Amino acid sequence: MAVAHSISEQELVEMRTTVQSKVVLDVVRQMQSLLDSLEKAELNIAVTGESGAGKSTFINALRGLGDEDKGAAPTGVTETTMVPTAYPHPKLPSVQLWDLPGTGTPSFQPDKYLEQVNFNQYDFFIIIASERFRENHARLATSIRAMSKKLYFVRSKVDLDVNACLRRRRAMFNEESILREIRTDCIRNLNEYGVESAQVFLLSCFDLSKYDFQDLQETLEQELEGHKRHVFLLSLPNTSSTAVQKKKASLRKHIWKKALSICLASVLPGCCMLNCIPLLTKTLISYQQHFGLDDQSISMIANQTKKSPDLLKGAIASTLAKDLSQDIVMSLLKEAALSSQLVSELMDRWVPVVGVLVTGGISFAAAYILLHTSLEKFAKDSERVLKLAFEDEALSYPFLSYHEENLFFYD
């Protein structure tokens, strides 16, 4: 089991700073506290707009669900949301998207509206319009900005506009020009109602790989901080190689915490090495789910793309993604131990106390290498599945570079 590169100096410095006690129980508690704060970080996203703008469909799309899937937010041509309704992410329940009542009713008042929907509980707001942004949107935006909250404008159903233009003026059709017209019109309307410097994202909720979803994702990523950024990245649907790579990078930063927590648990009183295999397996299962390689995720992608689940599973190359049993994990952990010399030497030099703490338990280096290698392979498997799922759609993966495309063909 080869490792692309060894544990980084930054990780070793973080570990040496964190592990200051030689009492195993103290260190275990410290590591578990760090992991709990990371994995249970709450993110509350408020979605509002006029009735029929596609709020519920947008919420379902961000949660990786279709409108008819179990647990999906109800959709309809009339307003279906009367009170703020939370929709937890199916795999990250600490991430909640809130469907807020529509803003297009005659009684709508921005100041009262924000109070009614419990304004302070949301990390940021997304205002959705399906045609153009109107006065109600601008009034709400002004009130949100006055309270120092972040907000973003989403123009939905762009695919319908593009298709309509294609039918009306086929000979002169230019998609880039049409998108520019839509964006300019939205910004002009917001400016007329006093909302300056508005950044508008054009989306199709039925295909997040198109238009501005990547730009919206990157904007939110840049403006969120710490643990909230981490859970936001993990919550995003796998719509591109870029999304997959961002998830991998965020998970990669915390592998050393997971590995150290697991190997320390193996030497607690009443525990043994075998007790830690379920912990390793649980971590690997979470990776598998984040990259959309579990049976439920594969079935959902198959339904969305009209592909066979078995066909998509055929794109999965790594052993663990195919069979994530504890026996396989134990076998791969032993294999990882054989190639852990370099990591072990760095640990002995930088954080020697870890060797003392885990004497008799599983090797930190072996656990680290197994998690690191598995993460790399899961990410590549995810890209292969997406490539196969969307291979017939000309506009899917428009932002893949030549290098990123090549990632689909190597294990």
> Mind listing the pLDDT tens digit for each residue in 186-210?
999 899 888 888 889 998 887 777 8
| Closest alpha carbon to 238 in 125, 157, 315, 180 | 315
CA distance 217 to 20: 37
Q: Where exactly are the structural domains of the chain?
A: 9-39+239-409, 43-235
C-alpha to C-alpha distance for 43 and 62, rounded to whole angstroms: 13
| Cβ-contact 104, 80 below 8 angstroms | no
Instruction: Determine the pLDDT at residue 399.
Output: 34
- Tokens 């939205």 sit on residue: 186
Look at residue 354 in the predicted model and tell me its pLDDT: 57
Phi and psi of 68, rounded to 5°?
-105, 0
pLDDT at 128: 93
Token pair for 56: 């519920």
pLDDT computed for residue 316 by the predictor:
93
Are the CB atoms for 304 and 296 separated by under 8 Å?
Answer: no
Residue 283 DSSP SS3: helix
**Into which CATH architecture does domain 43-235 fall?**
3-Layer(aba) Sandwich (3.40)
Helix or strand (DSSP H, E) at 108: none
Contacts of 73-76 spanning 24+ positions with Cβ under 8 A: 73/97, 73/99
Strand order in the sheet with 150-155: 85-88, 95-99, 43-49, 124-129, 150-155, 200-202
CA distance 362 to 294: 27
Q: What number is the average pLDDT over the span 323-329?
A: 86
Q: Which has the minimum average pLDDT: 145-154, 205-214, 220-229, 394-403? A: 394-403
Chain center to CA of 158: 23
Any idea which of 43-52, 289-298, 388-397 has the lowest mean pLDDT? 388-397
Contact 183, 234 (CB under 8 A): no
Residue-wise pLDDT for 23-40, tens only, equals: 555 666 777 777 777 778
**Three-class DSSP category at 346:** helix
> What is residue 79's predicted lDDT score, i.e. its pLDDT?
54
Coil, strand or helix at 174: coil
pLDDT mean across residues, the chain: 79
Looking at 50-112, which runs of residues are DSSP E strands?
A: 85-88, 95-99
What length is written for the chain? Answer: 411
Does position 251 have pLDDT exceeding 50, yes or no?
A: yes
Q: How far is CA 198 from the centre of its chain?
A: 25
Give the mean model confidence (pLDDT) for residues 261-270. 66
In this prediction the pTM is: 0.75
